[in-house]
Structure 1
Amino acid sequence: MIVALIIACEVGFWLLLAAGLALRYLAKKPRLGAAVLLVEPLLELVLLAVTAVDLKNGAAPDWKHGLAALYIGYTVAFGHYTITWLDAHAAHRLAGGPKPPGAGYGKARAVHEWKLWLRTLVAAAVTLALLQGAILYVGDDGDTGSLESWQFVALRIAGIHALIAVGYTIWPKKAPRTAPADPVDALFTKSRR
């Protein structure tokens, strides 16, 4: 049941996001679209409540509860970021808004990656807190090994993402070469190679 609810929450997230953006930009009802987008956090609250009730009713803690905690942590850290990112792109594509800036290159890209890592760190912290709460709730009577293993999964994800950010810091992504605007310059550039 928990896995089905996680899938339903993910599908619901994208459906609400699509509906909210469609209302904002296609139907020209920005307030209604914003209201629909504000409903999205309720999905995670439902998942959290159902997971807690499942444990309260005596369900053995297993991978499904860990996955639910990881999903909630990810959504807390990246949900608003994802909505804002997609909103900016929808405004550009559907309402003639300015093109959103990309992650950039060089130092700007490294800073962007570190900011994303901080979000991953928040996701890991939320996941760890939820799992620790579940471990304390279950107590010594139940086997909490599965929940503890999910705590290590959250820490590993944060560690791997830190390595990615370090990689962008040490080996910054370079901007692609742009083609010369003048065709004559293009001929001279090719002949020099």
Structure 2
Amino acid sequence: MDKVILAIIVACEVGFWVLLALGLASRYLWGHRRLSNVLLLSVPLLDVILLAAAVIDMRAGAPADLRHVLAVAYLAYSLVFGHRTLRWADAKFHHRFADGPPPPRPPAGGTARARYEWVLWLWIVVAYGVAWMIGLALVWLVGDPTRTEPLLGMVGGLSKIVLIALLWPVSYTLWPKKVEQAES
């Protein structure tokens, strides 16, 4: 059972990209908008499957470990950044295969880029908070604090990612890239 959660995490990640690709292909290559919507709206079901698998695994007696923290982190990322990832892929696919406009790019530099990086970092902080909520929900759903306590400690370790990600907005704030002015 140890490897089942890892396999489910990998299957959910692969499933995300497969459903995304099929959903976008249905929309832009095959002209099946309704099928596209069904495929893209089914992406969050992968999160439900992963959460259920983690709860079942831990309720069956598995102690909290890195596998469960990966499940928590994946779920948090998916909940916070999933829609943004779908929009990004949709814009890229639309441009590449359906003659859509070029996808939006982040600001090149200056205060606009610093602001962009700070907003992105704040979303990372939100994802960290969501990871805590999911971790607490797992502890509650499993109902055995002695086995699930390490989970919260490992979720707390995700704070290192938040701190490392802080380097980007700080660097763009302290050393802003100059924006070239377009010639009139």
For the criterion TM > 0.5, the same-fold answer is yes
Shift of 1:81: 0.3
Q: CA deviation at 1:69?
A: 0.4
Count residues in correspondence. Answer: 178
Alignment partner, residue 141 of structure 1: 146
Q: CA deviation at 1:148?
A: 2.9
Stretches of structure 2 lacking an aligned partner (at least 5 in a row): none
- Render the CA deviation track for 1:27-54: whole Å, top value 9, x for unaligned: 1222321221110000010000111111
Once residues 143 and 42 of structure 1 are traced to their aligned partners in structure 2, the CA distance between those partners, rounded to angstroms, is 24
* 2:48 counterpart of 1:45: yes
- Contact 1:55/1:138, CA 8 A, preserved across alignment: no
Q: Against the structure 1 CA distance between its residues 140 and 95, is the aligned structure 2 distance closer, same or farther, given a 3 Å change threshold? A: closer
Supply the distance in 1 between the matched residues of 2:36 and 2:104 (Cα, whole angstroms): 23
Residues in 2 aligned to 1:30 and 1:173: alpha-carbon distance in whole angstroms: 41
Counterpart of 1:164? 168
- Aligned pair partner of 2:68 in 65, 68, 71: 65
Q: Does 1:77 align with 2:80?
A: yes
Question: So what's the TM-score if we normalise by structure 1?
Answer: 0.84
Report the Cα distance in structure 1 between the residues aligned to 2:180 and 2:61, rounded to whole angstroms: 57
Indicate the RMSD between aligned Cα atoms, in angstroms.
Answer: 2.0
Q: Which moved more, 1:120-129 or 1:158-167?
A: 158-167
In the alignment, the residues of structure 2 paired with residue 44 and residue 33 of structure 1 have an alpha-carbon distance, to the nearest angstrom, of 19
Q: In the alignment, which residue of structure 2 is the partner of 1:15?
A: 18
Amino acid in the other structure paired with 2:12: C
Question: 1:115 offset after TM fit, Å?
Answer: 1.9
Aligned-pair CA distance for 1:24:
0.7
Deviations 1:6-41 (A, max 9, x none): 000000000001001101111122232122111000
- The letter for the 1-side match of 2:16 is F
Correspondence list, 1:98-117, <5 A? 98-105=101-108, 106-117=110-121
Q: Which amino acid aligns with 2:127?
A: A
Give the deviation of 1:135 after TM superposition: 3.6
| Partner residue of 2:94 out of 91, 94, 106 | 91
Within 2, Cα distance between the matches of 1:68 and 1:176?
43
TM-score (norm 2): 0.88
Over 2 Å off, 4+ runs? 132-145, 173-178
Deviations 1:147-171, CA, capped at 9 Å, x for gaps: 1332223222122212211111221
Q: Deviation per CA, 1:54-107: give whole Å up to 9, x if none.
A: 111111111111111011001111111001011011111111111122101222
Whichever of the two has the greater Rg, that structure is 1
Taking the aligned partners of 1:121 and 1:130, their CA distance within structure 2 comes to 14
* Aligned partner of 2:38 among 26, 32, 35: 35
Identity rate of aligned residues, in percent? Answer: 42
